[in-house]
Amino acid sequence: MEDTTTFDNLRQRAQALEKEVEGKLSAFSRVSQSVTSLLSSPDPEALTSNDRVVETAEGELAELLAQLQQLDEQMSPTSSTPAHTRQLQRHRELCLSFTREFRKIKTNITTARENAEIFNTVRGDMRDGERTNRNDILLRERSSIQNSQRSTAATLEQAVGARESLGHQRQTFTSITSRMSHLAQTLPGVNNLIGAISKKKNKDSIILAVVIASCTLFCLLYWLNK
């Protein structure tokens, strides 16, 4: 009779503890579902708060499961009837089920943390890569600008050289024009001189022709009179 009373008391305590464990497991499961989103949060305070919630729930559940397992062990010597044995087996199976669920949730949280760490690492690497790409783009743009500046400077130098050459050519053309103008001014005097020489030559030719004609006529008359 005493064993029955002891068993019933322990069983009542175990049932109350099982209800508490079941409620804690439900809450712990909800916490695990929000772990992924919280771990991916860039807010350090949110991460710290989440870690505290997980650690608190995990510690409470571990302690409750240990108490439940201890109660099951205490009920074992007091199970004096087949009904007690079946009830004890049921409590042990339930405790084992709670323990498995607890470990499963812990594993899910650990996996979520590892995935979040990998994701954050990859995201950090991608950001570093983006910064590197941006730096490369800026360097290429600066190099392109420098090349454009050098090309522009070379073009300006060529333009200045062409301008100087055109200036020299303009001076040459101006000098030639001036000389041609001077020559044009002196040409009338030259033309007059040439005209005077031509007139004198024509006059000499006429005199020479008259002399030749006179001599010819004189010779002809002399020959006829002879």
CB–CB of 78/1 below 8 Å?
Answer: no
pLDDT at position 124 is: 67
Residues written for the chain: 226
Give the domain range for residue 127.
2-149
Residue 157: inside a domain, yes or no?
no
Residue 176: inside a domain, yes or no?
no
> Who has greater pLDDT, 212 or 123?
212
User: Which one of 112, 134, 149 terminates a domain?
Assistant: 149
pLDDT at position 181 is: 59
Residues 10 and 81 in one domain: yes
Residue 189: inside a domain, yes or no?
no
- For residue 10, what pLDDT band results from cuts at 50, 70 and 90? confident
pLDDT at position 127 is: 67
Residue 97: inside a domain, yes or no?
yes
Radius of gyration of the chain (CA): 63
Residues 53 and 130 in one domain: yes
Residues 218 and 117 in one domain: no
Residue 32: inside a domain, yes or no?
yes
Residues 11 and 108 in one domain: yes
Residue 208: inside a domain, yes or no?
yes
Residue 185: inside a domain, yes or no?
no
Question: Across the chain, what does the average pLDDT equal?
Answer: 75
pLDDT at position 100 is: 93
Checking if the pLDDT of 64 tops 70, the result is yes
16-to-9, 51, 62, 95, 196 alpha-carbon distances in Å: 11, 28, 16, 13, 152
Residues 113 and 209 in one domain: no
> Who has greater pLDDT, 35 or 108?
108
Within 13 Å and on the Cβ side, how many CA atoms surround 64? 23
Number of domains in the chain: 2
Residues 105 and 201 in one domain: no
Residues 18 and 121 in one domain: yes
Residue 101: inside a domain, yes or no?
yes
Average pLDDT over residues 196-223: 77
- For residue 5, what pLDDT band results from cuts at 50, 70 and 90? confident
What CATH number corresponds to the domain at position 9? 1.20.58.70
pLDDT at position 81 is: 84
pLDDT at position 128 is: 64
- For residue 44, what pLDDT band results from cuts at 50, 70 and 90? low
78: CB partners within 8 A, 6+ apart: 3, 4, 6, 7, 10, 84
Q: Which residues of 35-67 are buried (b: 16+ CB within 10 A; e: fewer)?
A: bbebbeeeeeeeeeebeebbeebbeebeebbee
Residues 201 and 128 in one domain: no
- For residue 159, what pLDDT band results from cuts at 50, 70 and 90? low
Checking if the pLDDT of 57 tops 80, the result is yes
